[in-house]
Structure 1
Amino acid sequence: MAACGAYAVNTVQPSSPPAAASGAKIPLIDDAAFPNIGDRLSAKGIPWAWFSGGWDNAEAGHPGPTFQYHHQPFNYFAAYAPGQPGRARLQDETTFFSAAAAGTLPAVSFVKPYGTENEHPGYASEHTGSDHLVDLLQAVMSGPQAKDTLVVVTYDEFGGQDDHVAVPTVDAWGPGTRIPAILISARMQHSGVDSTQYDTTSILATIEQAWGLSPLSSRDAGVNPLTNAIRAGTSGGQGGNG
């Protein structure tokens, strides 16, 4: 881990439990100074939750061997520390499956699979991860909320060594090389490829647009939301360069 001013580069651990016994930890982030998308949703009264594979075991003090502490973004913020009201938003992935079956999923749901089920090379396998993804998708699409749900599947890294498309320059932090993203909805009548330029913060922008939330930063304020891709799937039109 290297630090430069107010920035940390590479893996840092949360201060709130569950946290790794070793590795650099950073102080809890002040939500008032640096709000996240969960804070924005809560302020508007929008139901939401973060579902993580292995969370209950990790929180109870006996994490699985591939539970990733640093893959729990909200656990870095003061509003979601143990004892704080926001802590209830951090839930186990098993709750996601039961909520999907019951039709009680929050309006915005984030899902982070357990380590061996996230397709990461080195400690996970592609087929185990993709099989688990199918389970997650089937839970949503067979549930009572399927007709009103948009699922966005994406990754934090790319799967190859080369990309023929030059990486655009937006700011000092990227974007980086292209990563896969798949949009799925029972309302989509067509499949295809959208050529609009997006980045990961396009997901934030889509949530913000849908719920009338203020942007978190200049990045999500200026990026394309996923509107073109959604429109292409539901109307049969071609995604364009928005």
Structure 2
Amino acid sequence: MTDPTRPRRRVGRLATRALLAVGLLVLANPAAAAHAAPRAAAPVGPTTPIDHFVFLMQENHTFDNYFGTRPGVDGIPPDTCMPVRRGRAEPCVKPFHLGELGSLDLDHTAEAFRVQYNGGRMDGFVEGVSTQGKDGKLAMAYYDDRDLPYYWNIADEYVLFDRFFSSSNSGSIRNHMFRVTGSPGATGPSESIPAQGWGDIPTIFDRLEAAGISWKFYVENYDPTITFRSRTSAEDVDRGAQVIWVPLLGYARYVDDPRLFSRIVDLDQYYDDAAKGRLPAVSFIAPAGDSEHPPGSIRAGQNLVRTLLTQLMRSPDWDSSAFLWSYDDWGGWYDHVRPPQVDAYGYGFRVPALLVSPYAKRGHVDHTTLDFTSALKFIEVNWRLKPLADRDRKANTFLDAFDFDRPPRPAVFLSTERTPAVVRRPDPVPVYASYAVTGSLVTALVCAAALRRRRWT
């Protein structure tokens, strides 16, 4: 049966380009950094067939740490050997497979970045970790498809980005603020949440609210009592991290307004919303124990992502959805690509990022230079919103990772076992059809022979 909503969802090529051009003209307005605009009378439709955008942020890995040995990407260069001390060729540490050995939480502060980046020479990865009293050799470890089978299977079927950078060259607080505001939040050398909260810094959710566009922030193991006003002990750092991973909990206006606060919900609500076809236009997801943050389990993280994607693929919303996930910073791990320094705060090193959508190009490696504000740029272009700051106004978007000239692909439920990409054979239906034609001809010849035999007798 023909879907009556398809003409609206499947925007034609010319119409899509025209609408995107309008969106980009709006984004060029320098006054966009002001606070939220007045509330729109009615929500606007998207400029692409994507009605539902989901953005998950995992924790603390680089591209080379997860995909550096994958064929067809900008991966670990041959003969790489990282000096133990900057400026000295020997001794050095070669990249090695970490596998099930596990890892400590390596240093990933602004100082660690400074040492590892070393003015663009990219030769301080071992030293940057060693100076913090940890085994710097661990910085050169990597995982591969034996450890990340589901993610590598996803890359075979959907889109993998190999020039996706963290927005900040420091830790989690600034990167999560870039994710929702296009800015680092607090300026200066200190990276912390102000005691009074984030004040009036506009967020992407302010823009969505003003335009009447639906949104939710889904939080794994959500505790609504933990906000910027909470006081947590050193032993309770995981609970306190909720305010870092969910920056809206650092705003008085989101915490104190029951209507806005109700949009921050437990991750269980995502599964219910997806099952009922009630996902909002924009969904942000923050994990907790399944974030892959070392020494946490990367397999637990894969299971979380697989569960989220499986629910989306089974949802009535699948045909109009896009699911992006990335990692908030590099975690201290090695990556060989020198990040562009667009301002005092970033970029940081490359992080893994993948896109799953019925419109995503199959098995595509996207080489566009992107960062977390590229997700903001996509939201702003897709729903004709004004940019929040200079970063998202200038950011590239990942529209080239989609193919909107084709109908949406059926969901592909991938295994947690490694299933390497194989040569795709043609659809077997024509073959079966040729069998049917051959069978019909044989039957007709047999019948004709029997008729002639009857007449002869």
Are the equivalent residues in 2 in contact too, given 1:79–1:85 (CA < 8 A)? no
- What is the distance in 2 between the residues matched to 1:205 and 1:184? 18
Q: Are 2:215 and 1:48 aligned?
A: yes
TM-score with structure 1 setting the length? 0.80
1:26 equivalent in alignment to 2:159: no
Q: Matches of residues 61-210 of structure 1 in structure 2 within 5 Å? A: 66-67=238-239, 68-69=241-242, 70-114=244-288, 116-122=289-295, 124-158=296-330, 161-210=333-382
Q: Report the CA distance between 1:201 and its aligned residue.
A: 0.5
Structure 1 pair 57–220 and aligned structure 2 pair: CA distance change class (3 A)? closer
2:437 is aligned to none
Q: 1:39 maps to which residue?
A: 206
- For 2:191, the aligned partner's letter is N
Structure 1 distance, partners of 2:299, 2:368, is 29
CA offset digits 1:34-60 (Å, max 9, x no partner): 210000000000000100011147559
- More divergent stretch after superposition (179-188 vs 143-152): 179-188
Q: What is the DSSP-based 3-state SS (H/G/I as helix, E as strand, rest coil) of the residue aligned with 2:216?
A: strand
Q: Which amino acid aligns with 1:178?
A: R
Between the two structures, name the one with larger relative contact order (CA 8 Å, sep ≥ 6): 2
> How far has the Cα of 1:188 moved from its partner?
2.9
Shift of 1:152: 0.5
> Helix, strand or coil: the match of 1:111?
strand
| Aligned equivalents of 1:30, 1:216: Cα separation in 2 | 15
Gaps of 5+ in 1: 13-24, 236-242
The alignment partner of 1:193 has SS state of strand
Runs of 4 or more consecutive aligned structure 1 residues displaced over 6 Å after TM superposition: 232-235
Quick check: 1:9 aligned with 2:190? yes
Aligned residue identity for 1:51: Y
- Conservation of the 8 A alpha-carbon contact between 2:222 and 2:266: yes
> Contact 1:205–1:220 at 8 Å: present in 2 too?
yes
> 1:54 and 1:139 mapped to 2: Cα distance?
18
Contact 2:374 2:396 in 1 (8 A): yes
Distance in 2 (alpha carbons) for counterparts of 1:26 and 1:150: 36
Q: Write the distance in 1 (CA, Å) between the matches of 2:395 and 2:361.
A: 26
Structure 1 residues 98 and 56, CA, compared in 2 at 3 Å: closer, same or farther? Answer: farther
Identity %, equivalent residues: 33
Q: Which amino acid aligns with 1:28?
A: G
| Count, aligned residues | 216
**Structure (1 or 2) with the greater helix fraction:** 2
**TM-score (ref. length: structure 2):** 0.44
Amino acid at match of 1:30: G
**Post-superposition shift, 1:177?**
0.2
Unpaired runs of 5+ in structure 2?
1-108, 111-185, 408-457
* CA shift for structure 1 position 186: 1.9
